[in-house]
Amino acid sequence: MSADPFRETDLPFGIPDFANIKTDDYRPGFARALTEHRGEIDAIASNAGDPTFDNTIATLESSGAALRRIEAVFWNLVGTDADEALQAIEREMAPITARHYLEITTNTALFARIDRLFETRASLGLDPEELRVLERTHKNFVRAGAKLSSAGQKRLTEIIERLAVLSTLFSQNVLADVAEYKLVLEDEDDLAGLPESLRASAARNAQEKGHPGKHVVTLARSDYETFMQFSTRRDLREALFRAWTMRGESGGATDNRVIMSEIIALRDDRAKLLGYATFADYKLDDTMAKTPAHVRGLLDDVWQPARARANDERATLQTKANEEGANFDIAAHDWRFYSEKVRKETHNFDEAELKPYLQLDKIIAAAFYTATQLFGLQFNEVHGLALYHPDVRAFDVRDRDGKHVALFLGDYFARASKRGGAWMSGFRTQQKLEGDIRPIIVNVMNFAKPPEGRPALLSLDDARTLFHEFGHALHGMLSDVTYPLISGTSVAGDFVELPSQLYEHWLLRPEILGKFALHAESGEPMPAAFIERVLASCHFNQGFATVEYCASAMVDLDLHLQSKPGPLDVVGFERATLARIDMPEAITMRHRTPHFSHIFAGDGYAAGYYSYLWSEVLDADAFAAFEETGNVFDPELARRLYTHIYSAGGRQDAADAYIAFRGRMPTIEPLLTKRGLA
């Protein structure tokens, strides 16, 4: 065995050597890889010859292979199977790797070569992809401080290193609060109203957390939402709701309030160093939206009809509660409970009736089937691979001609060592610069794990999440570009959600539900009349859903429009923003700031949480194109979707890519219709 366990392997599909990677391997592994990458960068920067695309840009793209391999393993496992030892290394390595990449983008000699190529790009005879990579590389370097003075670069390095430390602490604090919390249900009275699926998972949780014979509800989203929908114990709903909304705001060692304040201030300093008025201006300059004003316009256009609908929904819930003898006003911990009652009456079904039809294995099969119909993909489960956790499943993905496309990993169940939420990531990205390198893509979920021998049952929201993340996965797996910089999901932040959100549309098609929504006990398909009721309910509670999302997006934008905020009471600022937009009292933000990992556990969605809505304008318009043909698997549209969206990576500007697929830019009307707000 090589001394480097992160080397390229001859294991099936080139998977990392998970079985032989130990925690003690990471520090020396990072040291070797960082040293190797520095040497490669120095060689490019000190090249005595004139800069060319090949000896500068292509060589830069090829550099850092060893570092990419160890980072892919480490950062994926930090999110999916972390312990205290791994988290300690995370705290150590976050600022070191942040400094490393900043040293590259502020390398004066290296940037001089890139800048010279950029200034003469029209005469270089580059093909469109090469030109795109050169332009993106130049812009990335400029946005990372390549044109700053040495003093400015020194200050920027300090900011980036500190932000890396703070975002890591923020994430670990949220994970600790989730892992520590448990709502112990002592007896049958505490279980009142809960469906069998939640009782079973709660019994399993109790066994694992040292309460055999009892039931434990955790802060996994699937546990939380199901409990809030069905528990008849208002006091327990309130207790769980408080724990859910107070993650990161405990007042103890895991409190994130001071961390958030420092993050906002440092981001503002970073933006001003780079010549922008605010961090929001800096972040949005490299998106489809371009400016905070455009984002504000979209959010305002949706907020008013959504708020009006939500207030109507609350009145309906209050009427229902009053009919049952309630002597209280509907509060946030009541909304899901009474909403489920109203849904059952209005549409003649409830989530408890729906869940047995949404078996995890069947919904996975439905996601695969949709990809087969659209893109000709075939999925074959691979057994016997040594993966990073026993729950992880592997699938060999091939095209219609039998050629290997990707290895897909599915990590579906919640566990204490995994951070909350759902996401797509990769252990290897697609590229053709050094041969036909095929990707290894992973989807991570947090569904409740059922007892042994029982099927995992999903809520409708869970099933949508699975389709959503699989849309991201397809974006990574189908990538067909030469250069890593523009591979897969490396696109504008408010375009990256288009492939995922568009994919959700196929879940609720009768063609999919009729084939894969099979009852867990009887095996019978969901009746056509039931499918019609499910589809008719799609607009139900959309005021609530839109308000909780838009409120989070508005707080995010407002926070990052702060100029010279200094010490900021972020929670107080959150309250003030919600008061300004007249947030309905019985609804909370989808992500309150102390646990808003999208914007504080790294800056990927900072000043960018709006992007889900921006992309929804695109996805609603895009799916309307399929509906207009009368065939949601229309072959010609599917071909254009593959060519210009799913396989194209960041090969062209996002707006140009959408126009190439649709023939025009989208309108907002399909979005309002989709959400029932028109």
- Integer Cα distance of 402 and 224 in angstroms: 42
Name every residue whose Cβ is closer than 8 Å to that of residue 388 and which is 6 or more positions away in sequence: 18, 73, 76, 77, 80, 81
- Using DSSP, state whether 397 is helix, strand or coil: strand
Rounded to whole angstroms, the Cα distance separating 456 from 442 reads: 19
Strands (E), 584-671: none
Beta-carbon contacts of 324 under 8 Å, excluding residues fewer than 6 positions away, are none
- DSSP state, residue 450: P
What is the sign, positive or negative, of the torsion defined by CA atoms of 562, 566, 570, 572? negative
- Measured CA to CA, the distance from residue 606 to residue 598 in angstroms comes to 7
CB-based contact 508:535 (threshold 8 Å):
yes
Whether 389 contacts 80, CB under 8 Å:
yes
Own/partner pairs, 543-546, CB within 8 angstroms, 24+ separation: 543/306, 543/307, 543/308, 543/309, 543/310, 543/311, 543/312, 543/313, 543/677, 544/310, 544/313, 544/335, 544/339, 544/587, 545/675, 546/302, 546/306, 546/309, 546/310, 546/675, 546/677
Nearest CA to 366 among 383, 353, 347, 379?
Answer: 379
Q: For residues 268 and 504, give the distance between their C-alpha atoms in angstroms, rounded to a whole number.
A: 36
- Phi first, then psi, for residue 549 (nearest 5°) are -75, -50
Look up residue 543 and give its two tokens. 């005021």
What are φ and ψ of residue 91, in 5° steps? Answer: -60, -35
How long a stretch of residues is the chain? 678
Catalytic residue, from 61, 340, 469, 616: name it.
469
Nearest to 586 by CA among 316, 405, 385, 323: 316
Q: Which two tokens stand for residue 492?
A: 């504008």
Q: Which amino acid is at 599?
A: I
Separation of alpha carbons 394 and 385, rounded Å? 8
Between the CA of residue 675 and those of 6, 117, 610, 616, what are the distances in Å?
46, 47, 16, 10
The residue to which tokens 């599909």 are assigned: 13
Active-site residue 469, yes or no?
Answer: yes
The residues carrying an active-site annotation are 469
